[in-house]
Amino acid sequence: MTMPDERARALRFAGEVLREMLVREDVPDDLKQQARATLRHYPTEQQLKWMIDDVSRAEGASQLWLAAE
């Protein structure tokens, strides 16, 4: 079972992978284009922190889906 902090970490790592794809020379242009399109709507690290704060304040916070690492 995935824990809430593991979900947050996975989201952060996924964003890092997408940003890394944009600067690497060995990544094909079509994949760079897909990464760029995904990052347009991907939360920044600060937005992710805000999401975690919002979730923790929500009703039923004892059943967190997302939590700080």
pLDDT of residue 4: 82
Q: Model's pTM, two decimal places?
A: 0.78
Describe the crossing of helices 45-57 and 4-23 by its angle, rounded to 10 degrees.
160
| pLDDT at position 60 | 63
Low-confidence ranges of the chain (pLDDT < 70): 59-64
| pLDDT score at 68 | 76
Q: Name the residue with tokens 């967190």.
A: 64
- Indicate the helix (H) or strand (E) that contains 29: helix 29-39
pLDDT for 18 equals 97
